[in-house]
Amino acid sequence: MKNFWRWGISVSLLGSLAPFACGQQRALQICARDPSGRAIAEAHVRVANATPAEAISDASGCVHLTIDPTAPTTVQLTRQGFGTITQPLGTAPELTIVMQPATLREVVEVTAARTPLALDATASSVRSLTQTQLAEAPGLALDDKLRQVAGYQLFRRTSSWVANPTTQGTSLRGLGSTAASRTLVLSDQVPLNDAFGGWIHWNEAPQLAVAGVELMRGGASDLYGSSAIGGVIDVTPVRPEGNSYAFDLSGANRNTSLLNGLVTAGAGPTKVLVASTLFRTDGYILTAPEVRGAVDVPSNVHSQSGRIELRRELGTDDGVFLRGNIYNEARSNGTPVTTNATRLWRYVGGGDWVLPKASRLMFRVYGTQQGYRQSFSSIAANRATERLTRLQRVPTQQLGGAVQWAQTYKTLTFVAGGDLMDTRATDDETPVTNNVNQATISISARQRQGGVYGEVLWQPQNWSIALSSRVDRFHSFDARQVTSGVGTTLPATDEFVFDPRLGVVRKLRGGISLTASGFRAFRGPSMNELYRTGQVGQQTTQANANLRSERATGFEVGTLLTRARLGSLRASYFWTQVNRPVAAVTLSSTPTSVLLQRQNLGQLTSKGFTVEADARPASWLNLSAGYQYADSTVTKFQADPTLVGKWTAQVPRNTASAQARMERQRLGVFAVDLRTSGQQFDDSANVFRLAGYAQVDLYGEHSFAIGAKNRLRVYGSVQNVSGDPVQAGRTPILTLGIPRTVSVGIKIGAEGMRRSQ
């Protein structure tokens, strides 16, 4: 999902020309203000026949231009969250323009069309979170902040800052997940799903290097290939522009600290960005108090992420770049013996060009090098002792590339592209008996997936019709198990998949749009599911080398209402049927342990509806809310018919969220975030029930000016204000979600960044 605009939508405006009296160059200062007189930073100011012709307001809300008075002209101002305004320049040396807050979110959404479309021109259900919304959402990791979107969920309810990485799969549309995600997460066209297991490293990107997140719900394999059954989450990176900096330091209870930093530099066409996040927490004990024993210790994490990017601009919208990212983390998984660690290097290079005749070209090449290790144990029934049972190491390498071409001709847009990704991994498992390492079992394999896609987007008056399709080859091969020098060849898989999609939008009078779409999608099994046996708590899940890809068919119909004085309201009904879903099926269970195996379950169906609303009833107040009802059940499973009719594991029927944000110049920002979820089950047999919960989070901030271009912000937040326990998992031991967490911090910086295009 590619964003072709800077910090939101730029709407071209034309105005009357105002002649000037004199024929000499003159200096002009233009300042943007909100109705209360507060400066508006990052406003886009465009003036024809000026030097420069386009500028971005600084922290004081102003830009300085040199104009030619012999060429009468107008000025246009655009800024996300405000209505676009245009007016004649006049003859005064200073011009102050008051921008009114937008009552609608005039944001260009990047949808499954891989082309920029306004909200009322896409058949997809899209939710965007800006950098400000992410910064003000209480939470220590990106997955915490995304919970403000109703229907978004991880495999379990535990935050990534205390959860084992292998439980950080994500899903949308009530489709659930195992360790692997049924939703594709990417950034700047590069997949972020773990190359081996499909889960997400939510802390990989330095927090200040994230400009926003867009969640597109509904199948998108027609353009994105594997994993996009439930939708696509696009993490938009900050793009360096000019000289700027930002730092954010915060601390919380449980010996938690978070340090974020970002610096961009470059006065000419060459820009550089350096960013980092340092995070540590002592965490908390996941096991519920009534079942804790001597072996239960806090789950915690120490992590570091860094990014460096070098970009060379070749024109207004053309450029090439190199980006490197490193992520390192070490975790305790809740007992003294069980730990894991990840070290991940990711590198990306690419370019974007706007060609003659409204044509665009994009390419990306990328690779990852990852090392993962984990230890496993067996815990006594009274949880008083544990013993080491297994050591695991998983080195993984991945290479990939993508190219895309787009051409617009009148009301038609054509998109064509392709991508290829090759992954190699080895799973080394060393059993341990009485503290003595046994012979290592090594499984190595290779997985390759590639596809080509095309799309035709037709936008006649009041219509938007998109027809797209993709052909993929998903191939797992060269799988081999070696034990004590003896090798065994494991089954290979080779599948060809065709995924079409049709989306239709009809605009009516009164700001109403009707939408409909139908799709097919797929997800290939990860190498983790095929070859690795995993353990979380006392729950052991066996691999299955005979797994096949999940296939999904679905449709969605909905409506979008936008009113200038009221806001926006979107409602949609969805239906998705997944055949051969990979699920962990219980083979045996005792009071202290559960043995499962990954199997193609047969069929699951998720149907329901979502309602989302945004409103700005006053210039100082923003309101948003969302609700999802998802009836997700097993509809076929020949191997065990008793599972038919059971709820899909880890999927609640009801989820809802609501946010209120208030901002006054003298007082600052205050935000309230409410989210709630109904009951769900932790297993396919619906034996282990997790109760519903409601949680309230708070955020407050006050800012101070430091000179003309810098601001100091002091803020605080509270997660789970009531402190009520949230049942996160049953493995089969009950584990809990985040307890009350109080954070305080300071931010200082000069804004001068834009989103990657």
- Give DSSP secondary structure letters for 34-80: -TTS-B-TT-EEEETTEESSEEE--TTSEEEEEE-TTS-BEEEEEET
pLDDT confidence bin for 111, thresholds 50/70/90 = very low
Q: How many Cα atoms within 13 Å fall on the side-chain side of residue 95?
A: 22
pTM of the model: 0.84
| pLDDT in the model for residue 3 | 39
Which strand (E) or helix (H) includes residue 527?
Answer: helix 527-531
Per-residue pLDDT reduced to its tens digit, 358-404: 788 999 999 999 999 999 999 998 999 999 999 999 999 999 999 99
Q: Are residues 536 and 582 in the same domain?
A: yes
| pLDDT in the model for residue 154 | 83
Q: In this predicted structure, which of 114-128, 420-434, 465-479, 722-736 has the lowest mean pLDDT?
A: 114-128
Give 619 or 369, the one with higher predicted confidence. Answer: 369
Per-residue pLDDT reduced to its tens digit, 256-314: 999 999 999 987 899 999 999 999 999 999 999 999 999 999 999 999 999 999 999 88
| Any domain includes 449 | yes
d(CA 490, CA 443): 9
d(CA 378, CA 392): 15
d(CA 235, CA 230): 16
Amino acid at 218: G
Whose CA is closest to 176, among 157, 202, 159, 195?
157
Contacts of residue 523, Cβ cutoff 8 Å, sequence gap at least 6:
180, 182, 221, 226, 227, 228, 229, 549, 550, 552, 582
| Any domain includes 653 | yes
Percent of the chain predicted with pLDDT > 90:
58
Q: Specify burial of residue 445 (Cβ count, 10 A radius: 0-12, 13-18, 19+).
A: buried
| pLDDT in the model for residue 155 | 82
d(CA 402, CA 331): 34
d(CA 654, CA 632): 11
| Any domain includes 112 | no
Q: Specify burial of residue 433 (Cβ count, 10 A radius: 0-12, 13-18, 19+).
A: exposed
| pLDDT in the model for residue 12 | 31
Q: Are residues 475 and 520 in the same domain?
A: yes
Look over the chain and give the mean of its residue pLDDT values, rounded to a whole number: 86
pLDDT (mean) for 437-446: 94
The helix/strand count (H/E) of the chain reads as 4, 50
Q: Are residues 395 and 459 in the same domain?
A: yes
| Any domain includes 1 | no
Residue 16 has pLDDT above 50, yes or no: no
Whose CA is closest to 333, among 168, 207, 452, 175?
168
DSSP state of 340: E
SS3 175: coil
User: What are the DSSP E strand ranges found in 333-411?
Assistant: 339-355, 359-379, 386-409
- Pair 394, 422: CB distance under 8 Å: no
Per-residue pLDDT reduced to its tens digit, 493-512: 999 999 999 999 999 988 89
Each residue of 121-145: b (16+ CB within 10 Å) or e? Answer: bbbbbbbbbbbebbbbbbbbbbbbb
As a dihedral over the C-alpha atoms of residue 224, residue 226, residue 231, residue 237, rounded to 10 degrees, the angle is -60
Q: Are residues 71 and 218 in the same domain?
A: no
- Pair 540, 139: CB distance under 8 Å: no
Per-residue pLDDT reduced to its tens digit, 171-198: 899 988 777 888 999 999 999 999 999 9
Q: Are residues 287 and 399 in the same domain?
A: yes
| pLDDT in the model for residue 264 | 93
Final residue of a structural domain among 83, 98, 113: 98
Q: Specify burial of residue 60 (Cβ count, 10 A radius: 0-12, 13-18, 19+).
A: middle
Give 74 or 435, the one with higher predicted confidence. Answer: 435
The domain that contains 58 carries what CATH number?
A: 2.60.40.1120
Residue 77 has pLDDT above 80, yes or no: yes
pLDDT (mean) for 589-600: 80
Give 237 or 117, the one with higher predicted confidence. Answer: 237
The domain that contains 656 carries what CATH number?
A: 2.40.170.20
| pLDDT in the model for residue 290 | 93
Percent of the chain predicted with pLDDT > 70:
89
Check whether the bond before 298 is cis (ω within 30° of 0).
no
By residue range, what is the domain housing residue 32? 26-98
Per-residue pLDDT reduced to its tens digit, 648-696: 988 999 999 999 999 987 889 999 999 999 999 988 889 999 999 999 9
Whose CA is closest to 397, among 372, 422, 429, 364?
422
d(CA 28, CA 91): 9
| Any domain includes 14 | no
Residue 107 has pLDDT above 50, yes or no: no
Q: In this predicted structure, which of 529-538, 688-697, 741-750 has the lowest mean pLDDT?
A: 529-538
Q: Are residues 58 and 202 in the same domain?
A: no
